[in-house]
A and B are shown apart, each in its own frame.
Chain A
Amino acid sequence: MFSQNALFQFLDRSARVRPDHPAVEEPGVGMITYRELAALSDQLRDRLHHLGVRRGDRVGIYLHKSIDSLAAIFGILKTGAAYVPVDPGAPPARNAYILADCAVKAVIVEADFLPGLQAELPVQREGPRFIVLDGTGGGARLRNALLSAQESDPASTVATVSPDLEDLAYILYTSGSTGKPKGVMLTHRAAISFVDWCSQAFDPRPDDRFSSHAPFHFDLSILDIYVPIKHGATLVLVSEETGKDPVRLAPLISESKITVWYSTPSILSFLAQFGKLEKYDYSNLRTVLFAGEVFPIKHLRLLKSLLPHPRYFNLYGPTETNVCTYYEIPAEIPDERTTPFPIGAACSHYKIKVVDEQGQEVPAGAEGELIASGPGVMNGYWNLPERTAQAFLVDSAGERWYKTGDIVVEEANGIYTYISRRDRMVKKRGYRVELGEIEAGLYRHPDVKEAAVIALADEEHGVRIKAFLSFQDGKRPSIIRLKRFCMDVLPGYMVPDIFAFLDVLPKTSTDKIDYQKLKTLS
């Protein structure tokens, strides 16, 4: 039923079949072959085992995206542990919370991040062990760190753990409505069922060159990493800096001869608007995949007019399921179309239903919540049994369905169209943001009395976050100071775009913040 029983088998198989083929490229920095990547991840496996990491443990990755961090992923998986990647650009306090929350046994960390992390980690008798890299780039920094550790404290070679589909492979932390990020636990089974579906849907070939645009703490990376490695193709890493900048990204996609691109619609919109795409050759690009948010039709149309040759697919699914529906964008977008394309039909490894608030299936054409069942679904949220129970609907046959919180409509032909969210989660440039987490961050400001956040969406700006605040004793800080404060407690994409100040926030009759009223103030 599954092509392998563990993700690291994809690497080891490709290392046997195509040892000298480039596995991963870091443009302008370096390249690593399959043989070298397998060897480097083996060395890390041995070191982690020496430090006490065993099957069932967690290991953190606090590194910039690089061949080093990619090798770290496989090294961790080969010990039987799950990897926990954190955003190197996020505040150290948030990352420390994540790594302490899932009690990582070890962290592979850049020296620059170590002091900030250690200052924020709770003091405990058995804190995590650190493997410290003096930077990242081309895999050499990881190799050097392992070599010098080997000289001072030799680790012996151990066997890679025996593959088990039910082992946790990774925990991806997403925004949590209470202000604390929550860890989505995914097994090798979940990941491999998805990778195998990709093999069917996108016909990956050994001469393909896949982009890796999303950061590794973002679930788009699962396709980026494991599909090319399964097929012995090449993965081209896009750094965080270049990834945000369409002016540098446009020539990189062309020069790196990317054949399969995958990212959020936001960056594709930026590429179409600011990337001067007409200046470059994209004849190698055969497939463009996007996911994570709605693609405004105006920008998709512009992109397709600039790059008419590839096939385009809209992929849909939250981190908890990864992709569970997909839709191929037609070659020609009719002029009269103004609404976004559907999220499409169920992937072959998923069953999809649309249900009402009582959990009863609604007929095609009626709005309801999309729920999904299949091998790709998460095990649950780390250490949050109640949240996990609330996230699932168990039907009379005992089948577990993940409730996405997305309101959709099924068209007559089994094609689903996204309508809205059931709760206060929004997607800003593909990032999943719980408005409640932003409010919790704002409340940490000593002078804030009340904080409420809403999302505004329009074609021109996409999603913007607006914060309404009131202050103790009229002590209102400047917007500039507030933004700087937010940068210290929240990831950059959660910092509100607009601030508004009120003496008192409007309340409902039950004395809750009146969000409907706030929307009318915007």
Chain B
Amino acid sequence: MEDTINTIKAYILEEFLPGEDPNELTPSTPLISGGILDSLATLKLVAFLEEKYGVEIQPHEMGTDNFDQLSDIARLVHEKM
């Protein structure tokens, strides 16, 4: 789980928060409501997760329930693995 969080964190930092101090992005940082993931960013992240972990994420799963925090995204991925 820790590994998954770190992998997703590294991807988000590189793609959507260039220049940010990695310590600022915690497992509970609000991603969608905090303006870090918009709709296009979420789609790109989903494509990354599907490719990296061989999981399939359904459209209805892409909301704030599963994507607003790193810990929630990692949980979703683990449930599907």
Which residue of chain B has its CB nearest to the CB of A248?
B59
Please choose the segment from A62-70, A217-225, A396-404, A481-489 that sits at the chain B interface, where 4 or more of its residues have CB less than 8 A away. A481-489
Question: Are the CB atoms of B34 and A478 closer together than 8 Å?
Answer: no
Which residue of chain A has its CB nearest to the CB of B21?
A478
Question: Are the CB atoms of A480 and B25 closer together than 8 Å?
Answer: yes
Please choose the segment from A92-100, A307-315, A341-349, A493-501 that sits at the chain B interface, where 4 or more of its residues have CB less than 8 A away. A493-501
Decide: A492 near B35, CB < 8 A? Known: A247-B62, A480-B29.
yes
Question: Are the CB atoms of B39 and A486 closer together than 8 Å?
Answer: no
CB distance from B42 to the nearest CB of A (A): 8
B36 near A: Cβ within 8 Å? yes
B65 near A: Cβ within 8 Å? no
Question: Are the CB atoms of B19 and A245 closer together than 8 Å?
Answer: no
- Interface digits, B1-39 against A, CB 8 Å rule (1 contact, 0 not)? 000000000000000111111001100011001111011
Question: Are the CB atoms of A478 and B35 closer together than 8 Å?
Answer: no
Question: Are the CB atoms of A245 and B20 closer together than 8 Å?
Answer: no
- Interface digits, B38-57 against A, CB 8 Å rule (1 contact, 0 not)? 11100100010000000000
A392: chain B residues within 8 A (beta carbon): none
What is the number of residues of chain A that contact chain B, defined by CB distance less than 8 Å? 25
Q: Of residues A480, A481, A492, which shows the largest number of chain B Cβ atoms within 10 Å of its Cβ? A: A480
Question: Are the CB atoms of A484 and B34 closer together than 8 Å?
Answer: yes
A280 near B: Cβ within 8 Å? no
A202 near B: Cβ within 8 Å? no
A274 near B: Cβ within 8 Å? yes
Which residue of chain A has its CB nearest to the CB of B43?
A274
Question: Are the CB atoms of A498 and B34 closer together than 8 Å?
Answer: no
A244 near B: Cβ within 8 Å? yes
Question: Are the CB atoms of B34 and A480 closer together than 8 Å?
Answer: yes
With A and B bound together, what is the CA distance between A241 and B30 in angstroms?
18
Decide: A487 near B33, CB < 8 A? Known: A245-B59, A479-B24.
yes
With A and B bound together, what is the CA distance between A246 and B17 in angstroms?
24
A270 near B: Cβ within 8 Å? yes
- Interface digits, A259-288 against B, CB 8 Å rule (1 contact, 0 not)? 000000000001000100000000000000
Question: Are the CB atoms of B59 and A247 closer together than 8 Å?
Answer: yes
Question: Are the CB atoms of A479 and B59 closer together than 8 Å?
Answer: no
Which residue of chain A has its CB nearest to the CB of B58?
A247
Which residue of chain A has its CB nearest to the CB of B39?
A244
B36: chain A residues within 8 A (beta carbon): 480, 483
Question: Are the CB atoms of A483 and B34 closer together than 8 Å?
Answer: yes
Question: Are the CB atoms of A274 and B47 closer together than 8 Å?
Answer: yes
CB distance from B8 to the nearest CB of A (A): 15
Question: Are the CB atoms of A245 and B62 closer together than 8 Å?
Answer: yes
CB distance from B51 to the nearest CB of A (A): 13
With A and B bound together, what is the CA distance between A499 and B35 in angstroms?
13
Question: Are the CB atoms of A492 and B43 closer together than 8 Å?
Answer: no
B34: chain A residues within 8 A (beta carbon): 480, 483-484, 487
Which residue of chain B has its CB nearest to the CB of A247?
B59
Chain A residues 462-483 with CB under 8 Å of chain B are 478-481, 483
B24: chain A residues within 8 A (beta carbon): 478-481
Which residue of chain B has its CB nearest to the CB of A493?
B38
Which residue of chain B has its CB nearest to the CB of A274?
B43
CB distance from B56 to the nearest CB of A (A): 11
Query: A479: which of B20, B40, B63 is its contact (CB, 8 Å)?
Result: B20
A247: chain B residues within 8 A (beta carbon): 43, 59, 62
Which residue of chain B has its CB nearest to the CB of A482?
B35
Question: Are the CB atoms of B30 and A484 closer together than 8 Å?
Answer: yes
Question: Are the CB atoms of B59 and A478 closer together than 8 Å?
Answer: no
A270: chain B residues within 8 A (beta carbon): 40, 43
With A and B bound together, what is the CA distance between A497 and B47 in angstroms?
20
Which residue of chain A has its CB nearest to the CB of B26?
A480
B40: chain A residues within 8 A (beta carbon): 270, 429
CB distance from A456 to the nearest CB of B (A): 12
With A and B bound together, what is the CA distance between A457 and B35 in angstroms?
20
B29: chain A residues within 8 A (beta carbon): 480
CB distance from A483 to the nearest CB of B (A): 4
Which residue of chain B has its CB nearest to the CB of A244?
B39
A481: chain B residues within 8 A (beta carbon): 24
Which residue of chain A has its CB nearest to the CB of B29?
A480
Which residue of chain B has its CB nearest to the CB of A487?
B35
- B: residues with CB less than 8 A from A are 16-21, 24-25, 29-30, 33-36, 38-40, 43, 47, 59-60, 62-63
A-B residue pairs, 10 tightest by C-beta = A244-B39, A483-B35, A478-B24, A487-B35, A247-B59, A248-B59, A479-B20, A495-B35, A484-B34, A480-B24
